[in-house]
Structure 1
């Protein structure tokens, strides 16, 4: 499987099949593979003893049962993470042996109550556990699945002496995943992507463009003069990324938001097909996040009924994103994204 401008966009299981099982668990990843995902996306953070753990954030009270564990009550603290004050329990204050005693919880229990029925049953994963799981699933199914790894708060961890790029390179080598298998590294910070390139880590590097704000590494270096994410979504910004990274990954609002079809002035951030076409002209792939079927996440016009947890016209919403020509989409329900891709192919055919 190759990552690139193929005839159909890649479907990437966002934190596994996180719409059906608590995110970043073995159950979520195995289900994503079974549902036809081309790749899966783990978020990577580090423990105190330098183990890469697969978690949405380094603050883990929303995705584990740590807050109910009296033996860890004293670990609760407040930290500044990328300019924000955050209170809770942080992976960098635990060893892997300690985190291994915790159990996963559904992060959006009210929206996904069925997934929440798995709370307390599923252990946490290290990156090495996930790589082993993907190897075993590939052996059973005869179908390899790629890895799209997101580096969370890389500058923060580097300051703690826990460089995510170095830990990642070591893990890939130890697991035999440095042999040319499809691997993509993505981050909201360019610095960690540059460090991966200097280390010679194989695979593609993708710069994540947040809807607002500025990259944390650039804010640390430049303060209030740091360029905002919008700057990188301009034609000149994309040209500057060419050769430095292999692609950009944007939230769906940049592709199908209110102004996505409007003509933009020179130097303004691009949107919709204009953004995708310009990126492709500069040799960059474009990925989009995150396809979700619940009304809570759908734009007006695609919602059905009043329940936020109810599913709306997900097929129509997903098709709008796919029609922009993106190279890959992140989906909490990989089977729905595969269905939307198949429907689009049938319509075009």
Structure 2
């Protein structure tokens, strides 16, 4: 069977209702990638929890926003690791700090998580130091433990720069494929869905795990980056290895340079026409992340009308929303489910 034919019959992530993805858990309320953040997202009603995955020096897959650790852990305060501080080019950026690939899993297990946005989310700093670093296996275990016959909780794992890791001798895609097989998590409707900005990495995983392997999403950055992926030809190409796209919200709710919303795009309809689900990232409630007309004030950390943004995205037909505030999107989905128009259509 040709790859495009096989993927066309691949199990869909979405059922009849849009789903909610807890971005790094419920990171608006707890430090990201902690057990508290993931558990709270599930408690709020998220169907997916979303870890970012990086690789340690001994090949372990751990949940951190990026491979540089100083913004999300207490590594900078640990004298035993002072000599690990270094400067390194990661992708297009040159960074100075402490990097996951220079630590073993056992060493990372000694670190404690801290809030990445203390200025925007000062209440979260009360949890600094309370939680440790989790592996992909740990996150899958949380999802499985919290799943019930009535509600499956799944993991939407973002692979951070797998091609860059491979160039440094850490074959992330091979490690991920092996780990998913070990966890019995390779089925299209299984506990793990994969996503990445790295097209080559996703293609390698599709070739390794097969057309009947895990569901995959192609992440797409804000306008100006990888625009070719969202042309009609690009969407057709994505459909040969992935079941969906995860574009920046700004690809759908269009803004000008002053953050004024200028309209909406036709991306959702075009992607659906190519057989792809659409799950945009990242809806967050603070004013700084919202279009100007949805902000409540000039205070970047104050909550704006994230519910209004969620309603707009759902009205445009997205299949799910990746969000720092799962409770807000769960409320918007509940409104959609209860709407008279939807009841009549059903």
- Whether TM-score is above 0.5 comes out as yes
Corresponding residue for residue 179 of structure 2: 171
Shift of 1:333: 1.4
Partner of 2:26: 17
Counterparts of residues 107-256 of structure 1 (less than 5 Å): 107-138=116-147, 143-178=151-186, 180-200=189-209, 202-212=213-223, 214=225, 229-256=226-253
Shift of 1:170: 2.0
RMSD over equivalenced CA pairs, Å: 1.9
Show CA shifts across 1:24-77 (max 9, x none): 011111111111111111100000000000000000100000001111111010
- Offset, 1:205: 1.5
Q: Distance in 1 between matches of 2:203 and 2:306?
A: 37
SS across alignment from 1:44: strand
Tell me the equivalent position of 1:52.
61
Aligned to 1:79: 88
Select 2:301's aligned residue among 297, 303, 309.
Answer: 309
**Using the alignment, how far apart are the partners of 1:319 and 1:55 within structure 2?**
30
Where does the alignment leave 5 or more consecutive residues of structure 2 unmatched?
1-10
Residue in structure 2 matching 1:300, options 279, 288, 292: 292
Matched residues in 2 for 1:261 and 1:204: separation?
33
* Larger mean Cα displacement after TM superposition, 159-168 or 149-158: 159-168
Q: 1:81 to 1:98 in 2, by over 3 A?
A: same
Shift of 1:144: 2.0
Contact 1:235–1:278 (8 Å) recurs in 2: yes
Q: How far is 1:258 from its partner?
A: 3.0
1:139-193 Cα deviation digits (max 9, x unpaired):
6x86321111111011111112211111112222222323551432111111111
CA–CA distance in structure 2, aligned partners of residues 157 and 79 of structure 1: 13
Distance of 2:99 and 2:253 partners within structure 1 = 35
Q: Provide the C-alpha distance between the structure 2 equivalents of 1:119 and 1:70, rounded to a whole number of angstroms.
A: 18
Gaps of 5+ in 1: 215-228, 263-270
* SS across alignment from 1:289: coil
Answer whether contact 2:144 2:154 (CA < 8 A) is retained: no
User: Partners of 2:239 and 2:141 in 1: how far apart?
Assistant: 33
Secondary structure of the 1:301 match is helix
Q: For the residues of structure 2 that align with 1:185 and 1:47, how far apart are their CA atoms?
A: 19
Aligned residues: 324
* C-alpha contact 2:245 2:278 (8 A) present in aligned 1: yes
* Displacement after TM superposition at 1:3 (Å): 3.9
CA contact (8 A) 2:27 2:324 kept: yes
Secondary structure, aligned partner of 2:280 = strand
> Equivalent residue for 1:101?
110
The aligned residue for residue 5 of structure 2 is none
Cα distance in 2 between the residues matched to 1:163 and 1:171: 12
Q: Give 1:5 deviation, angstroms.
A: 4.9
Name the SS of the counterpart of 2:101 in structure 1: helix
For the 8 Å contact 1:39–1:147, the answer to whether it is kept is: yes
Q: Name the CA distance, whole Å, in 2 between partners of 1:238 and 1:35.
A: 33
